[in-house]
């Protein structure tokens, strides 16, 4: 009798376990009811990337089979996405996708002519649409540190410099110069590296305000204690 009861209990446990696995993994009872994407207006790109990935996110998929790790990796592979997070709400069946976009501060052309953007960390990325009103950087080096250096320098530039920026030339992380239009004149400002930027800006403004520099078109503040104008 005890053996029969034990067998029944074991069979019931197997049935319950199988039912739970079915409900979680294949049944539509606990399935994705809705996918929410916030932080970007490029919804189609995000949706298509997630649907095409090995994570294959779509409405109707069992929540237990939504691979959050794979989906996060898929989002991270989109170059213009800065941060990503995937949340599952088992109660409501909502999968929430939170992303933030990289903010471009400048662009440069690759060897093939492709427009590539830089954010303030020096990270390269592309976008599905052409972004306007950004300064162009010309690189004479492929050094990663040079890209980080010029990105940091640009992120610290005051608004009037950014508005008047005509171009940026980078020979190395230690040689960065800009062409900037201020009060109707196009000036060349040699910054050197991305260190002591606040001091260099202060020195430049002091030199620019001097009457004897009214005809100067080049300001070298790479060594702010020994600036040069010509």
Average pLDDT over residues 135-164: 95
Kind and range of the H or E run holding 168:
strand 165-172
Among the residue ranges 10-14, 147-151, 204-208, the one predicted with the least confidence is 10-14
pLDDT at 21: 43
Whether the per-residue pLDDT at 209 is higher than 60: the answer is yes
pLDDT at 159: 93
SS3 11: helix
Nearest-Å Rg of the Cα atoms of the chain is 28
More confident residue, 107 or 22: 107
- CA gap 167, 154 in Å, rounded: 11
SS3 129: coil
Q: Tell me: the pLDDT tens digits for 29-85?
A: 689 999 999 999 999 999 999 989 988 899 999 999 999 999 999 999 999 999 999
**pLDDT, mean over the chain:** 89
- CA gap 183, 200 in Å, rounded: 19
Whether the per-residue pLDDT at 28 is higher than 70: the answer is no
pLDDT at 29: 61
Whether the per-residue pLDDT at 10 is higher than 60: the answer is no
Whether the per-residue pLDDT at 14 is higher than 80: the answer is no
Whether the per-residue pLDDT at 110 is higher than 60: the answer is yes
Q: Where are the alpha helices (DSSP H) in 131-196?
A: 144-155, 159-164
Hey, CA dihedral for 209, 212, 216, 221, is it positive or negative?
negative
Residue owning tokens 């599905």: 128
pLDDT at 30: 85
Cα of 124 vs its chain's centroid, Å: 8
| Beta-carbon contacts of residue 15 (< 8 Å; ≥ 6 apart) | none
Q: How confident is the model at residue 1 (pLDDT cuts 50, 70, 90)?
A: low
Closest by alpha carbon to 217, among 173, 180, 191? Answer: 180
Given a contact cutoff of 8 angstroms between Cβ atoms, the answer to whether 75 and 97 are in contact is yes
SS3 25: helix
SS3 130: coil
Report percent pLDDT > 90 for the chain.
82
């Amino acid at each position: 009798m005890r053996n029969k009861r034990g067998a029944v209990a074991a069979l019931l446990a197997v049935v319950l376990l199988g039912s739970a696995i079915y409900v979680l993994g294949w049944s539509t009872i606990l399935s994705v009811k809705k996918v929410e994407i916030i932080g970007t207006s490029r919804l189609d790109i995000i949706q298509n990337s997630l649907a095409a990935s090995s994570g294959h996110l779509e409405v109707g998929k069992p929540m237990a089979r939504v691979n959050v790790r794979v989906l996060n990796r898929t989002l991270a592979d989109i170059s213009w996405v800065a941060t990503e997070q995937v949340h599952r709400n088992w109660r409501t069946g909502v999968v929430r996708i939170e992303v933030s976009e990289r903010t471009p501060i400048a662009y440069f052309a690759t060897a093939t002519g492709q427009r590539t953007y830089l954010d303030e960390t020096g990270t390269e990325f592309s976008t599905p649409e052409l972004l306007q009103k950004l300064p162009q950087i010309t690189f004479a080096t492929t050094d990663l540190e040079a890209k980080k250096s010029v990105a940091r320098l640009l992120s610290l530039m005051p608004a009037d410099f950014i508005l008047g920026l005509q171009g940026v030339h980078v020979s190395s992380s230690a040689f960065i110069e800009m062409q900037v239009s201020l009060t109707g004149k196009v000036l060349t400002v040699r910054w050197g590296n991305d260190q002591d930027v606040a001091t260099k800006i202060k020195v430049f403004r002091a030199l620019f305000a001097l009457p004897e520099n009214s005809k100067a078109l080049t300001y070298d503040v790479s060594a702010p204690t020994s600036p040069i104008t010509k």
